[in-house]
């Protein structure tokens, strides 16, 4: 209690108490129910796209690295 203003602090629960942990888990469970998952076809298509994109970018970066390495090596020799 703040003696100057006469205002009391609200009751604070410990989040590490069993009731606090239980409340947290109930909130997590209720939030998980709100998740809308995409269909399997959409997930598979997007996964394939990401894998293809990773392969294309890695090939590009690998070739640029190889070319720049050869260029630097030819300049230094």
Structure tokens at 76: 């230094």
Q: Residue 26 and residue 20: Cα distance in Å, rounded?
A: 10
Report pLDDT digits (tens) over 10-23. Answer: 556 677 888 889 99
Residue 6 has pLDDT above 80, yes or no: no
What was the pLDDT predicted at 8? 55
What was the pLDDT predicted at 56? 98
Report pLDDT digits (tens) over 27-69. Answer: 999 999 999 999 999 999 999 999 999 999 999 999 999 999 9
Is the dihedral angle over the CA atoms 39, 40, 42, 43 positive or is it negative? positive
Cβ neighbours, 10 Å, residue 54? 10
Q: Which residues pair with 7 in a beta bridge?
A: 2
Residue 30 contacts residue 23 (beta carbons within 8 Å): no
């Amino acid at each position: 209690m703040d003696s100057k203003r006469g205002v009391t602090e609200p009751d604070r629960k410990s989040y590490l108490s069993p009731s606090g942990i239980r409340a947290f888990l109930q909130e997590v469970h209720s939030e998980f129910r709100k998740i809308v998952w995409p269909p399997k076809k959409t997930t598979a298509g997007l996964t394939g796209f990401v894998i293809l994109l990773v392969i294309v970018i890695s090939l590009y970066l690998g070739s640029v690295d190889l070319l720049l390495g050869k260029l630097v090596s030819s300049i230094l020799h």
